[in-house]
Structure formats: structure tokens, C-alpha cells
Structure 1
């Protein structure tokens, strides 16, 4: 069974804070966590000054998205849920398939860095080898860099490959080791081939709990 990630970026628009969080934390997230193919569900808030401000990340079995139970959550929304969704300024839903994983999960990560990019098809092997041979080893040598998972986009409008980095705190990103990991000659050569790129930084907000 293929492992995947459901990533939802949102901007609340005209929905008041209390209503937005009560709906997300009390109805929307828990309804998804009740399904057996959804294993974790967490919300994060942007710390990078960009929008959308909110991100929800669910570790899933990709097959769950095709089940009647999951489809019903989207096709038969409650009046409350529909009313909130209609007022959101942004609701950006993305589905990814897991490529590889490095490091160990230790519960909800305090900081998440999402880096995604697309390259021409002929450069994809170079992208993967750079990550595996250089970039991830350099990052994971930095104290506080906990886990990296890499994904391929299967649904949504986003760059094709996502690296989801989990950190103990923001401090690793201020180190000389991090600056080196993100500025090597190999990395700079590869970046020249990138056709789409996105980088976001989020802090942990809430864990919906295990199903």
C-alpha cells in the first residue's frame, strides 16, 4: 500500500479566528482522523511571513482517498463546514506519494520546512542523486535536524517534488553548516535547471491525534 501525504494550505479570509479554529480543530480534522487510512493529522502556522498562513498535513495510505468514507467527507459537507469553506480566501489541496525517508519521527515536529521544486525530466535523476548523496547527509549532520521525507506530487497545483524537513527548532537554519548545505557548487548547478520552486517554513500548532 503506497504511503502518502495530504497537504492542505489555507487562508481564512473573512472567517473569524475563533470560528476558523473551532471548525478545523473540532470538526474538519477529527472527521479525517476517524478514517483508518489516515494515520496522523497536524496543523502548522507560517513563520516565514508568506501566505497561505495555515497548513494541515496528514500522513495517509493513498488508497484512502478513493474510499466512499473519504469521498463522503468532501461530497456531503455539513452546513457549518460548507459555510466556512465558502469564505476561505485560499484552500490549496495537494496529494503526494512518498519517495524516501531519512531520520526518525519523534512526534509532532516543532518546525517544518517545505521545499518543493520541478526540474526538466532529464534532470530528475540529478535532483534525486543530489538529495541522497549530498544535501540530506549535510542537513542531517546539523544538530536539531530531525527527519526529511521526500515526495512526488500526484494531485494538485505545485512543484513536482517536495522535501518535508522536520526540525527541533529554527536554530539549525542559522548555522554555517546550513548555509553550506544550501550553497554547494553541485546545488547551485542544479538550481539553474529548476523550472518551479517553493519554500515555506511553519511552526507546529495542533495535533489531531492518532486514529
Structure 2
């Protein structure tokens, strides 16, 4: 049975001739559609980083029904890389995105899906992503923390929708990723301080050699069968 997962694409334009406006037009109207229409993903969602100083200003998450496709070079080569919107190496030639973007695009397999107490049908407008590497030898305790305390507590916070946890396919660190979805980008900071203030939470976070947390705002999405208006 195919293993489901995620492609987590953090990007920023780096070419001096690629404006943010053109970058976003290409990404939202061409690239995410190319990835979905090629059959790699059945849903792609774009977000913008709420931290203007962050290295990666944009995020695209692609829901992958079969992560084995990510290692199929022949299949991956069918996904279009060039566009007339992107600056090329030579005048009159289409540019290719690997040449004009800073990008970090790891693949993940899904570990856990967690729904909050309220059945949410609308798309969350804000997400918090947390990439972590637990202290050596504590993977089981790390997993127990999420399953037995952390997610239950987060789910009681204002505006919470759901969480999904992943593990990186190539094993590079940080290996674990959690995506927490909220109704808006007005995240409940006061309540989240309580969540991470438990003894178990402080122990896990303090001992983690890598803890990378970002907050993002929804831009647009594209799914198999075409664009869905929310």
C-alpha cells in the first residue's frame, strides 16, 4: 500500500530580475498546478512567512498520496521546471526555477493526524510549523509527549483546527515536523505559553538540539480537479 506524505517546499526569490510579484504569479498560477496536474500531489497550499526577516519567505505544502514517486527520477523529470515568467540565463529563453530561487524542499512520510475537538470544515488561515530533532535516544519519549500530552493541550487553544506530524524521508536532521493549523494568524500566544510550560514540554524542548518554529499565513491552494474557492 502506498505511503502518504508531504513535500515541504520553503522558497524565496533570489534572482535580481525576479520580482516578488512575478514570483508569486508564477508560483500560484503555474507551478503548484504543474506539480498537482503531473500526478505527484493531490493538493498544494501556499503560505507566506509572518517573519519578514526569515530566510524563506514562502512555503508550499504538497499532499503526496505516494511518496515513492519522489525518488522516481523519470517521473519527477516530467514536472515542468521552466516558465516564460522566470528570468532565463540567456535572452529570449525561459528561466528554470532551480536557477532563480533559494529553496529547501524535503519530503516527509506521515506519522499522525490529530483533529481538534471541533470538526473544522474550512481551510485554516494560519499555520505554525515546528521542525524538531529530539535528544539522542529519546524518540519514543518525544512521540509519547506529542500523543499523550502536547496535542491534547494545543487542541484546547483558541482557533485551533488540527495538527499533522511527519518524519523526514531521507533521515536528515531535524527529522520531525509538526504542522498546527489555526483559524487565523492571531495565534493564542497566552495559551500556547501554558502548553509549552509543562515539565514534560520544557524537558523535550530544552533537550532538543534543533527546534525551528515558523508562523505562516495562507495565500492560495490548488487541488486535483482544479482550483477550489473557499
Aligned equivalents of 1:188, 1:99: Cα separation in 2: 23
Residue 37 of structure 1: how far off its partner (Å):
4.3
Distance 1:198 1:70, change over 3 A: same
Q: Secondary structure at the match of 2:43?
A: strand
- The answer for the alignment partner of 1:24 in structure 2 is 27
When the two chains are superposed, the root-mean-square deviation of aligned CA atoms in Å is 2.1
- Residue from 184, 193, 206 that aligns with 1:179: 193
- The answer for the alignment partner of 1:64 in structure 2 is 69
Aligned equivalents of 1:107, 1:35: Cα separation in 2: 26
Misfit runs of 4+, over 4 Å: none
Correspondence list, 1:51-200, <5 A:
51-61=55-65, 62-67=67-72, 68-73=74-79, 77-78=81-82, 80=84, 82-88=95-101, 90-103=102-115, 106-155=121-170, 158-175=173-190, 177-200=191-214
Aligned equivalents of 2:149, 2:39: Cα separation in 1: 37
Structure 1 or 2, whichever has the larger Rg, is 2
1:41 paired to 2:44: yes
Aligned equivalents of 1:70, 1:12: Cα separation in 2: 22
Higher RCO (C-alpha 8 Å, min separation 6): 1
Unmatched segments (≥5 aa) in structure 1: none
Q: How many residues align?
A: 207
Distance 1:137 1:189, change over 3 A: same
Residue 51 of structure 1: how far off its partner (Å):
2.5
Please tell me whether the aligned partners of residues 39 and 210 of structure 1 are also in contact (alpha carbons under 8 angstroms): yes
- The answer for the alignment partner of 2:12 in structure 1 is 11
Residue 169 of structure 1: how far off its partner (Å):
1.3
Please tell me whether the aligned partners of residues 127 and 185 of structure 2 are also in contact (alpha carbons under 8 angstroms): no
What CA deviation, in whole Å up to 9, does each residue of 1:92-138 have, x standing for no partner? 11111100000166353200100111023411111111111111000
Aligned equivalents of 1:39, 1:83: Cα separation in 2: 23
